[in-house]
Every structure is written in C-alpha cells, then in structure tokens.
Structure 1
Amino acid sequence: MRAMVNIHPVLVLAFIDFFTAFGVVFGGAMLAGIGATFLFMPPSTMMLKTAANLKIWAVVAAIGGSIDPIRVIESNLSDGQLSPVAQQVAFIVCAFLGAHMGTELIRWLCKGAA
C-alpha cells in the first residue's frame, strides 16, 4: 500500500487554480476549433482567438469567479496581515500561469496553421 503524501492545503489550492485555468483555456479553445470545423471556418484561427479571449476569464474562474479574493487582499492589507494577502496573490499568479500555459500550448499546436 502506498503512503499518502501530506501536501500543504495552500499548495493544493494553488495547483487546483493552475489546472483549472489551464483547462478552461485549453478545453475552450479545443471546443471552439471543433465548432469552427462544423461551420467550415479555419479551426486554428478560431482556437488562437478563443484562447486569447478566454485567458482572463480562466483566471477569474480559477480563483472563484467573484470579487472575494480582492476583498481578502484589501481587508488584510489594511489590517497589516500580509500572509493572507500573499496567499491570494499566489493563487492569482498560479491561475494566470495556468491560463498562460494553456494559451501557449494552443499557440504551439496551431503553429504554422494560422
């Protein structure tokens, strides 16, 4: 039987944010390419445009889809508590990196096609 690895909950949430944002961009762009094929449009062009348009929305979806993380940053920063602020900023950065990596993967897949 394998031993469970005890990972800090903050790291778990950071990884989940990364892969959620990555999945939103990558999955959305792939499905847009499939839809473009059905409509006899160039799929690579549609995939590149969709990936670029979904990037910011992927970050928003990954961090919770609301203004709550910004409120956490604002309230804790005004109280002088930097640890929760750093956590929220790290979550946003991880989500952005996931969305960016998804966009770059789509760009790499469509390289030369558009």
Structure 2
Amino acid sequence: MSGASRILANDIDPIAGMAITLNCELNQLNPLPILTKNILDLEQDKWDLVVLGDMFYDEDLADGLHHWLKNCFWTHRTRVLIGDPGRPQFSGHSIQHQLRKVVEYSLPEPTRRENNGLTTSTVWDFQP
C-alpha cells in the first residue's frame, strides 16, 4: 500500500502464513509472497526495511535475531523497526542500547487481559 517494489512476509508457522493471506484479502491487496522457513537460517538478502513484531520472547531467538539484524544493518544499511509490548526478555536484552523509541500505543483492554497485564506496545528504530 505504501509503494514497495518487493515484499516478503516471513513466519515459521504455516497458520500465520494463512493469516497473512487473509489480511491481504481484507485489505484488498494482492497476496504477498510468504516464506514459512526460519529466515535467520538462510543466506541474508538485501532489504531496505525489516519490520518485525514481538520476536524477543525467547533468549536464544533474541540473540540470533539481534545478530541477524546487525548484519542486515551493517551489510546493507537496512532500516529495522521492531514492535514489542515490553516483554521482560526484550526489556532486559542488550539490544535495548541500540534502540530509539518511535511511538508507543495503548493496548485495548481485551489484549491487556490476554497478555498478562501488558498495557502498551512500542515501535523501536534499531540503530546499532
């Protein structure tokens, strides 16, 4: 919708891939190409922008993702935006020293109840 010439959606869960397709349909977009393999295990491609959300829920994944994102940034000058609701694994991770807050959103009440009292979600700009 913003004019990107190439997009790739990635999630290792095939059900998430179906959700991405349904989201495209609801927004009257052509279906996006979807990769349901762990992109961190593949040869790194050049991306202008990487947008990811709520990915720092596991320490090993967070460490691998942090390394991958640094490579994207330093190799291809990729801009990285990270959305996170403030989970402890993210708040306590070393990546915190490389982030600049872009915007913070209040979560709706049903989402707050489903997420153990988390009340906001923040978008961060990764700047290693």
Structure richer in strand, relative to its length: 2
Could you say which structure has the greater relative contact order, defined with CA pairs below 8 angstroms and 6 or more residues apart? 1
Band of TM-score, shorter chain: under 0.3
TM-score by length of 1: 0.26
TM-score by length of 2: 0.24
Structure richer in helix, relative to its length: 1
